[in-house]
Amino acid sequence: MAKGETKVVVYEKPTCSTCRQVKRALTEKGVDFTCVNYIEEPLSAKELKQLLQQAGLRPQDALRTKEVAYREHVAGKDLTDDQLIQIMAEHSELLQRPIVVRGNKAVLARPVDKLAELGIG
């Protein structure tokens, strides 16, 4: 990484096609990045809350609603943001992906052009 360059972290699920597109775009732009497979290395509620704050997202904005865990634990319930974050931490498949962090800012990189919000592109 060049001096003064900010570390980039991609929170991903390796089998996700959008995650692969983001990694390809970063590689093509010569961006050095690390990946975190949050399915195998789940984020704690505290880490998830911080990540969402960095991205300016509410938990509902980053929720995958087509997952079984959504129907079982979220659908039809009146949950607070903290309750929703806790459920998302316990069921990592509920988190939209990929989330890309650069410095103290993050974006939900759907679509890939959202990387431009981090000054990448």
DSSP annotation of 119 reads T
Cα→Cα distances 30→27, 78, 119, Å:
5, 44, 13
So what's the pLDDT on residue 5?
A: 57
Q: How far apart are CA 62 and CA 53, in angstroms?
A: 11
So what's the pLDDT on residue 2?
A: 43
Q: Which residue has the tokens 């939209």?
A: 96
The answer on pLDDT for 36 being more than 50 is: yes
Tell me which CATH homologous superfamily contains domain 8-118: Glutaredoxin (3.40.30.10)
Q: What is the pTM of this model?
A: 0.92
Residue ranges of the domains in the chain?
Answer: 8-118
Determine the average pLDDT of the residues in 80-105: 97
Of all residues in the chain, what percent carry a pLDDT higher than 70? 95
Q: How far apart are CA 30 and CA 44, in angstroms?
A: 30
So what's the pLDDT on residue 6?
A: 75
The answer on pLDDT for 4 being more than 90 is: no
Residues in Cβ contact with 115 at an 8 Å cutoff, skipping those fewer than 6 apart:
22, 25, 26, 100, 107, 109, 121
